[in-house]
Structure 1
């Protein structure tokens, strides 16, 4: 099969769909990989690295898209819509619940669109292709939050770890899944006071085995969220409902009650965000001030560390890419997890969660 790797076009997105080592595996299995020139340079991979792995370097974006299987990192932007073609398989992060325009175009153009974030292992409901980027985003959320708490960045001027004689900063994390857990690890390591709120009592019990008394674990309800936010220095939104928009847990009124110069990092922004005042930003312009609070809403946070992110993502996606390359659409019959990842196929919206979000698009 011919596999295309276009260069990512999202703002300062330096990750790439396949690393040279992944290309080599595909080439050894008899497939041809076409990589747009300079597609991997931001992640530390040169055109020569891809050539050595057996890829063909193409000089135009169009050539990279003219393949039966296209592997990306982020969803196609409007300028890329023209490259999508009927019968093509698109394998990437999509987050369609927050993007009606892209959803409609994928239905119209006739591609089979498989989203990394909805590939789901049967039985345990794990999301194997979302997990590696969730780990990175969770860790980065505290790193970025600490940065924008600095006074020169518009924040309160709070050091999360504090110093002897001065209390540490307080980090509140909404959601105890992969993102929330990884955020807590970094925040605890910095010496911050940390609270995690989640509606899953079993998950809270598991988190207790990880953190013991170092993290305060609370059942998530409106009263507990309101109490937690009043003295929070850093709020991290880590809410995930696969395939659906994130629920709004923090209203504008609650944001008003936070300290001026405190920081919100909403990792759920690519699914609409769980904070009412959050909207998507970019790596070029990552933050804005709303109700006196610094908001960080970059939807592709792992793009800040592309060398790490690309390899971590490829470690998880390569087996699925190889199955698609070997079997084409038939791979969806043989692999239940991959089948669950299909969002759009044959001009139809097929993922159940998305059908609920866009009920008027279901035929």
Structure 2
């Protein structure tokens, strides 16, 4: 497998390299870019001319190599050496309430014969990410890993975009399906956040809208904890996500972040669902905590047999909340991944509004928040 990642500060820079990229004959390309590029028709045209098998999304930050950028385009191009192939599938999300059925619809289209893995990109606003993923997984083979994330718009939570071979849309959901016995995948996810305060019972919730904690309006409780940060909701919610605990009060390793608030119902709109049988605790983190989380994510893969110090593509999805906490030190979590992967490694990805990945090499996929996730793709030769 041959792969390369490039970063462009303008569409003109990408277009100047398009001929060389076509000559590379990629099996597929993925573009992670600033939302502004998705409003330019020639952006989509340029990508499909490079390779028809293309998907992409708007971001809250672009990852290329061991660097983190803003307001540009990260392009990753991959060419398989074997007969491995990809197929691109896409559908359209009507509204948040149709998230589950949208996932099912996409899964209905995916050819399961020889399927090895799926990389998914979806809208980052007006979506129930966990319901979308649940709908997708109900109709895919249980052993198939799904990775990817929800698009971003630099923390504005207004308009995100997903690109596929047929066009660009703020409501599109697109996936790359990978086929071929020569392909192998490894997955890992870790946060690094610390919980604080009491665990509170979810006493009223519908899908991803949280109405009550311990019988009180969820928004009121959340504002009490945030203090002066409450004036900046929902953006400040990225700094204080929820840890999800099960019925026995034990951590589930799932984090939920706040995407919006509803003052009329005093509720919180979360990036994914919570259950009324569960408990929630507030979380916070330091930069060192989050860098340690990145270390744990990549360390879990590189220290599992067999030896993964080999040519591979590392697709990284990290949460915009982590980026806000780390500030100028945000590149350190990507540098930690680069440090532990040796050989010809291509690293690319984006900062998102939700991260999709199994935990360490487990088949069951989760929608994560405030988490760094990694998918390693390798091809046997």
- TM-score computed with the length of structure 1 as normaliser: 0.29
Structure with the greater alpha carbon radius of gyration: 1
TM-score (norm 2): 0.28
Higher helix content, 1 or 2: 1
Higher relative CO (Cα under 8 Å, sequence separation at least 6) belongs to 2
